[in-house]
Amino acid sequence: MSRYQPQPFPTRRCRQGLLVLLCLALAGCGFQLRGTQSVPEAIQPVSLTCQSGVASNLCNSLRRQLDGFGLLASEEQKEEAYRLTLSDYRHDRRVSAITGRAAAAEYELTTQVRLSLFTPDNIPLLAETNLQAIQAYRSDETRVLAEEGERGGIQNQLNEQLAMQVIARLRPFDQTRIDAIRGAYEKPREDSAPPQQDQGNDTGDSEMAP
């Protein structure tokens, strides 16, 4: 008679899976895990504006991440906040591989958005910066509805990637870098200012013609 042999419990895989779920849950709730790379306090707070046409789930994802890092400006802070703007949102699909019957076998989705970041006194830290996320997926003529759902899921993933790219662009802006950009921006304006006129006394040494 064979005796039941218990199978080893896949503790390592379970721990990894639980850790991923925990990270996603905490990120969604606005918590920041210890050890994750933070954003400098010098760039806080940030007011986010998404112009017309920008995907709502991209804006919502970025807003959650900003809030999770303690960056998102409150209503009272908006006038003195750094201004982060997303605009010119575009997404495109193109054939990246074909079958032997010249049918599309693989598509490539590309999503782009334009980013700008200004200081409260209107100095550009990031002006007209384009971000892009790309992902490919296989096409199956027999699974049209499932393929549409898959494409929508991939589009959401691309928006999440763009939101993370925005956060990554904010990380280098510590106080030293902000001061350097401010100095470089203000110096040409100082150099182009008209020279100060001499306010000294007129000696009256000019000669009159006879």
Tell me the DSSP string of 137-202. Answer: EE--TT-HHHHHHHHHHHHHHHHHHHHHHHHHHHTT--HHHHHHHHHHHHHHHHHTSPPPPP-SPP
Percent of the chain with pLDDT over 70: 61
Confidence at 149, pLDDT banded by 50, 70, 90: low
Indicate the range of 9-23, 28-42, 102-116 predicted with least confidence.
Answer: 9-23
Joined together, the tokens standing for residue 171 give 């990380």
Q: Note the pLDDT tens digit of each residue in 76-97.
A: 999 999 999 999 999 887 766 6
Mean pLDDT for the chain overall: 77
Q: Where are the domains of the chain?
A: 39-176
Instruction: Indicate the residue type of 206.
Output: S
Distance CA 117, CA 75 (A): 18
Q: Is the pLDDT of residue 153 over 80?
A: yes
**Cis peptide preceding 10, ω within 30 of 0:** no
CATH top-level class of 39-176: alpha beta
Helix (H) or strand (E) holding 47: strand 46-50
List Cα–Cα distances, 58 to 27, 109, 136, 168, 171, in angstroms: 15, 16, 19, 15, 19
